[in-house]
Amino acid sequence: MSGKESLIRRPDGTIWYRETLHEKDGLATEYRVSQVLFDSATPHQRLIVVDTDRIGRLVALDGATQVTMGDEFVYHEMMAHVPLLANGAAEDVLIIGGGDGGLAEEVLKHQSVKRLVMVEIDASVIDFARTHLAALNRGAFDDPRFELVISDGKDYAASTSAAFDVILVDSTDPVGPGEVLFTRQFHGDCRRLLKPRGILVTQTGVPFLQPAELASTVGNFAQLFADAGCYLAVVPSYVGGFMALGWGSDDRANRAVALDVLEARFAASGLATRYYTPAVHQAAFALPAFIEEIVEQAKRAGRRG
């Protein structure tokens, strides 16, 4: 369990939260803290929740920033609305991870969604999110369409017979409990759960600092899906530039939905967003050359098997 040095008390009496995810590579980020709400081990990981002066309430697991109130809208809107508006008629959605509830809140804004199953390994994160992150999950946990399963996502995906239109893997990074969620086996099990026209989207890190996370996921997807790749968003507290979201689907049309169709679906959805727009949706699949190279190399390697 890492993140021991995540809270630093300075001689001037100030307290700073230090993200240690990239410290081994010589990079650390610090935020001045106005209040420490929680700092302890859960059965699975170390959970820290603090109020910061610059980016609001922040949740960290094992020294890695998970979500902040200041910029959560970017990640949650792009992880929810891109696949849901691309599919256009999603009724059954599965979230693996997502314990803070921010992604669930965005998914449940879609009237087409009839059932949202969320499989989270750590009940403490949910308990905490209910009490200290209500401004983020806004009652999502009490929505009649919401079903919570406390389990390892790997076991759920391997054993359930349920079928989904969209699967969203909102996990920690591939260390500790999140490691299994980056395996070929798990991605294969997720594909088995998808309905026709189904879409799998996964958290795949920040390519500039974590290229291996994207490469391994896209390599798996290239073996499993007709259409494998990623789309991008910029989340300020996920340091290092673009955040990549892995994309896997057997229906290539999901990625190629015309702008006017996306605009019509967005207008009909009544969604009010701060990051997502239909134009941003389309642009998110246009990859800078260094990320395109990671994706294309991974696809070639994946298809060579």
Nearest-CA neighbor of 149 among 185, 110, 115? 115
Nearer CB in complex with ligand SAM: 177/302 = 177
Nearest-CA neighbor of 83 among 4, 2, 140, 168? 168
User: Is 170 designated active site?
Assistant: yes
**CA-CA distances (angstroms) from residue 75 to 16, 19, 67, 275?**
24, 18, 9, 9
Query: What's the closest the beta carbon of residue 152 comes to ligand SAM, in angstroms?
Result: 5
Lookup: tokens for 275: 């990051």
Task: Among 3, 63, 153, 174, indicate the residue that binds ligand SAM (CB under 6 A).
Answer: 153
Task: Among 19, 71, 77, 152, indicate the residue that binds ligand SAM (CB under 6 A).
Answer: 152
Q: Is 215 in the site for ligand SAM (CB under 6 A)?
A: no
# of chain residues touching ligand SAM (CB under 6 A): 25
Residues 6+ apart with CB under 8 A from 193: 94, 157, 160, 162, 163, 164, 167
Query: What's the closest the beta carbon of residue 178 comes to ligand SAM, in angstroms?
Result: 4
Nearer CB in complex with ligand SAM: 122/189 = 122
Query: What's the closest the beta carbon of residue 89 comes to ligand SAM, in angstroms?
Result: 26
Q: Is 100 in the site for ligand SAM (CB under 6 A)?
A: yes
Nearest-CA neighbor of 190 among 150, 163, 228, 217? 163
String marking each residue 219-258 x if it binds ligand SAM according to CB under 6 A: ----------------------------------------
Residues 24-83 that bind ligand SAM (CB under 6 A): 61, 66-67, 75
DSSP string, 16-70: EEEE-TTGGGT--EEEEEEEEEEEEE-SSSEEEEEEETTTEEEEEETTEEEEETT
Cα end-to-end span (Å), the chain: 33
- Exactly one of 62, 165, 170, 173 is catalytic; name it: 170
Task: Among 3, 63, 83, 97, indicate the residue that binds ligand SAM (CB under 6 A).
Answer: 97
Q: Is 21 in the site for ligand SAM (CB under 6 A)?
A: no
CB 157 within 8 A of CB 74: no
Q: Is 174 in the site for ligand SAM (CB under 6 A)?
A: no
Q: d(Cα 65, Cα 111) in Å, to the nearest integer? A: 31
Which residues participate in catalysis according to the annotation?
170
Q: Which residues bind ligand SAM (CB under 6 A)?
A: 61, 66-67, 75, 96-100, 119-122, 125, 152-154, 170-172, 177-178, 180-181, 203
